[in-house]
Amino acid sequence: MVDGSPTCGSSYVYDGTFSGVTMPGRGVAAEALHHHGIPVFPHHQLEQAAAALAELERRSR
């Protein structure tokens, strides 16, 4: 997910005014995934995402 995106932002999104102002929150898709219990990570947290995936895989064995 790419932070800032109104669809994919996982920790902040642009406020929609096209002025570059951001606000805390999730984009539409990120929020839907989160609502269904699917962890969402921004692109700069790939190590955390990989660790979460490894943990899920470990639990499913």
Tens-digit pLDDT profile for residues 2-51? 888 889 899 999 988 889 899 999 999 999 999 999 999 988 899 999 99
Strands (E), 1-61: 12-14, 22-24
- Confidence at residue 2, expressed as pLDDT on a 0 to 100 scale: 84
State yes or no: pLDDT of 1 exceeds 80.
Answer: no
- Confidence at residue 26, expressed as pLDDT on a 0 to 100 scale: 93
pLDDT band at 59 (very low <50, low <70, confident <90, very high): very high
Per-domain residue ranges of the chain: 12-59
Q: Residue 8 corresponds to which tokens in the numbers above?
A: 């994919």
- The pTM for the full model equals 0.76
Contacts of 14 (CB under 8 A, 6+ apart): 4, 5, 6, 20, 21, 22, 23
CA-to-CA distance for 50 and 21, rounded, in angstroms?
A: 30
